Chains A and B, each alone.
Chain A
Amino acid sequence: MDVDQEFDQAIVARLRTGDSSAFDVVYRAYHAHLFNFLARLSRRREVAEDLVEETWLRLVASAPQLRDDTRLGPWLFTVARNLYRSYCRSRLVEASHAADLISLWPGGTPAFTPFDVAAASEAERRVEAALAGLPVTYREVLLLVCVEGFTPAEAAAACGITPEAMRQRLSRARNLLAERLQRIPAMPARLQEVMW
C-alpha cells in the first residue's frame, strides 16, 4: 500500500463522519484539477462550474457509504466524467461537434481573439484547438492521463473500460490529435508581430 492510499483511507474514514476539515483537504487537493478537467471537456466555464459543484455535492451525499479502499481522486473524476456524459445526453449535444460546425461556418477558420493570444503561446494555442476538436471519448482520456496525471489503469476505471481498451483508446487519441494538429493553421506571422 502506498502513502497516498493510506492518506485516502484516513480521509475517507473522517469523511464518513461528516468531518468538514477532511472535506477541505480533499477540496483543496482536487477542486482546481476537477474544474480544469471539466472546463476542457465541456469547453464552457459555466457548465464546468455547475458540474464541479454537483461532483462535490455527490461526494458529500455519498460520504457515509464510501468504502475503506476508495481512492478519492479516481472516484471524483469518475463522477465528474459521468456527470458530463449525462449532461451531454440530456442536452442531446455532443460538444465535440461544435468544433466541426465552426469549421463549416462561412468564412473558414475563426479569427484569433486577443484571449487566444494572451492565454497561450502559438504551440499551446494549436494544441488547445486540436484537443478541443477531438471527440469527447478521446479528449477525456488525453485529459485524464496527460493533463491530470492518471495512470492508464486509473483512467480506464474512471471511463469504465478495460486497461487494454484504454491503451488502444489512448493510442488512437494521440494519433488523432497529431493529425488534427497538422491541419490547424499557424497564426499569420504578421499577426504574431502585432501581438508580441
Chain B
Amino acid sequence: MVTDPSNDVLWSQLEALTPVVPDPIYSQSVRARCHAALARQRGRDAQGNTRVSRIGRLDVVLVGGFTFVYVVAVVLDALASYGVL
C-alpha cells in the first residue's frame, strides 16, 4: 500500500516539481477559439429556440382552429337533427 504521503520524501519531491508553464500567447489563442465556439453555440441555440417557439405557436393556432370548426359542426349537426335549422 501507499506509504503515508505526509512522511514520504518521494511524495514531497513530486509535489515540489517546478510546473511546466503554458505559453501565454498560445493560451490566449486557445481561450479566444473557445469563446468563438461558445458564441457559435449560443447563436445556434437562439436560432433553434426561435424556430421551436414559432412552430409551437403554429401548433396552438392549428389545433385551436380545428377544434373550433369541429365544435361548430357538432352544434350545427345537433341543431339540424332536432329540426331547429
Specify whether A and B are partners. Answer: yes
B: interface residue count bin: 20 to 34
Q: Is the CB of A52 within 8 A of B13?
A: no
Q: Can you list, as one digit per residue, whether each of A68-82 has a CB less than 8 Å from chain B (1) or not (0)?
A: 000000000000000
Q: Is the CB of B26 within 8 A of A49?
A: yes
Q: Is the CB of B15 within 8 A of A181?
A: no
Question: For residues 41 through 80 of chain B, which have their beta carbon under 8 Å from a beta carbon of chain A?
Answer: 41-42, 45
Chain B binding surface, main DSSP class = helix
Q: Is the CB of B20 within 8 A of A39?
A: yes
Q: Which A residues touch B34, using CB under 8 A?
A: 23, 27, 56-57, 59-60
Give min CB distance, A45 to chain B, whole Å: 8
CA distance A61 to B38 in the complex (A): 8
Does residue A162 face the partner (Cβ distance < 8 Å to B)? Answer: no
Q: Which A residues touch B33, using CB under 8 A?
A: 53, 57
Does residue A6 face the partner (Cβ distance < 8 Å to B)? Answer: no
Q: Is the CB of B30 within 8 A of A119?
A: no
CB-nearest residue of chain A to B20 = A39
Q: Is the CB of A167 within 8 A of B1?
A: yes
Q: Which B residues touch A56, using CB under 8 A?
A: 30-31, 34
Q: Can you list, as one digit per residue, whether each of A154-181 has a CB less than 8 Å from chain B (1) or not (0)?
A: 0000000000000100110010011001
Does residue B10 face the partner (Cβ distance < 8 Å to A)? Answer: yes
Q: Can you list, as one digit per residue, whether each of B1-43 has a CB less than 8 Å from chain A (1) or not (0)?
A: 1110100101101111111111100110011011101110110
CA distance A105 to B32 in the complex (A): 43
Does residue A63 face the partner (Cβ distance < 8 Å to B)? Answer: yes
The 8 Å CB contact of A174, one of B10, B15, B21, B42, is B10
The 8 Å CB contact of A146, one of B15, B20, B38, is B15
Given A23-B35, A57-B34, A64-B41: A178 touches B10 (CB 8 Å cut-off): yes
Q: Which A residues touch B23, using CB under 8 A?
A: 49
The 8 Å CB contact of A147, one of B14, B35, B41, is B14
Q: Is the CB of B37 within 8 A of A142?
A: no
Stretch in A88-96, A106-114, A124-132, A184-192 touching the partner = A124-132
Residue with the highest number of chain A CB atoms closer than 10 Å, among B3, B22, B45: B22
The 8 Å CB contact of A123, one of B1, B13, B19, B20, is B13
CB-nearest residue of chain B to A60 = B37
CA distance A146 to B3 in the complex (A): 13
B residues neighboring A (CB under 8 Å): 1-3, 5, 8, 10-11, 13-23, 26-27, 30-31, 33-35, 37-39, 41-42, 45
